[in-house]
Structure formats: C-alpha cells, structure tokens
A and B are shown apart, each in its own frame.
Chain A
Amino acid sequence: MTDWLTPEEWQAVWLSVRVSVWATLCSLPFGIAVAYALARKEFWGKQLLNGLVHLPLILPPVVTGYLLLLTFGRKGAVGAVLDQWFGLVFAFRWTGAALAAAVMAFPLMVRAIRLAIEAVDPRLEAAASTLGASRPMVFATVTLPLILPGVLAGTILAFAKAMGEFGATITFVANIPGQTQTLPSAIYSLLQVPGGDAQAARLVWVAIAIAMAALLLSEALSRAVARRISGR
C-alpha cells in the first residue's frame, strides 16, 4: 500500500505531519493566552502585541523566514542562548521548520480563539465568581468549555496552515531531504526537475487529501461541541 509513494516522498509527508503537529500543540497554550489577553484585558502595548501577532500574516513569508534566521539562527540573539543553555537548535533542523510553521500559523489560531472568547457572555463568568470560583477556576470551568469550538477550529486551521507553510520554512531551514524537506518543499523541488511533474502531482493529491480531512474533522468537532454547549 505504501509503494505508490517513494520512501523519500513518504519522508516528506511524515515530516510535514510531525512538524505541523508539534507547531500546533506547542503554540496552543500561547494562542489561548494571547487571545484571552487581546479579548478581555486592557494593558499598555495591547495594539503592539496585536500587530506583532498578525505581522506574519501580512509580511512576505521570506521576510519572516529571514527574521527567524536572524533571531533563532545559531548566532542569533535567541538562538545562541537556546543552543548554549538547552542544546536546542532550530537552524536547518526539523525543529526550525516547526518554529517557522508555528509563527506563520499563530495569527490564524489567535483570531479564531479570540472571536470565541469575545462571544462568551462575561456575565456568566461574573455569575461563576459569585458562586465562589476564583479567576483561574472560572476560566477552566466556564470560559474554556464555552470557547472549545473556537479553540478546535483555531487548532485545525493552524494545523492546515502549518502543513502548507513554505516560504518562511525554506528561508529559515532550507530544503534538506529527511531533515527539513516538508511536503510543499518536496513539491517545489520536484517541479524544478525536468519530468518531475507526475511525481509532484501525487504529492499534490496527498496535500489536498490531508487539508480536506483536517477541514472535515474540524467541522464535525465544532458541530459536536457547539451542540453540547448550546444548553439544549
């Protein structure tokens, strides 16, 4: 069943899935925190944070990739520290691809979750606090269950975006088969080779299938959760 894709191609597909899963799961707590802060809090620099979060959506991906290289590269301000203290290297590794995917998908995730938080009636949270729930408990028992559809939608959207990330990834971690060659990079490489079209087409189908499955899953999940929290 696996012989309709070459081992190199499978490698690219699995790498993409792994990169996207890590990118999505690791950014989720930050996504919820930033969305909550943007939806509910007033603080100095709120617009600055909002702008920073959305920047990857508007900047050319190659610029985001280059900025990541400058910051998280081996000699970058943050990259050097992480390498020295934690042995964590991003440049030209799959971890770098995950970081690039996470940064590029972050605005989509934050937007979906922020909308969900803004839709929660703060008066329900006030009611919970009069019943004795502290702030973190109110969030865990009232806010979080009510925003779950939005969190799921944001997560799946971010996963799909991470699967398709190309520009920032190739700029930051290049296109090394088995290391940093994700599905889009593999398709790009095949299209550079004469006669690679047929092979690329197979990968294109894989990309379409994964994206479609993610969308269907997210639809089904959010419908199920929405039914549960509708109170009916």
Chain B
Amino acid sequence: MTEPTDTETTVRALLNAAGMTTLTDEQVQIFVRAYPTLRTAADRLYAVPEVRYEQPAVIFSAR
C-alpha cells in the first residue's frame, strides 16, 4: 500500500495522462479532495486476505 506524498501532484498527473488537461484549479481540487477516499477504497480490497490468490472475474475465452 502506497501513501502519496503529494496528492495534488498525483491527481494532476493522472488527469493529464487521461487527457483532462483543461480543468480549472477548482475542478482539480474536487478530485484532490476525493482521492484519499478513492485510494482507501482500493487499498481495502488488497487487504482482504481471502482474495490473495483469487482469479479475477474477467477471464477471456478465445472460443
């Protein structure tokens, strides 16, 4: 589990990489405020021990 040292830098990098480069500072801050909650939600799933060796529910069939 990683703890970003600069949430805003991380969020701006992710938004820019996705092509969302025209957002205002106010719009970016909405995501900066949400990011810790989003990150916690994902990190919680890595912490469920029963999932460690589970297969994802996205198995592709070539048939």
A binds B: no
By a beta-carbon cutoff of 8 Å, the part of chain A in contact with chain B is: none
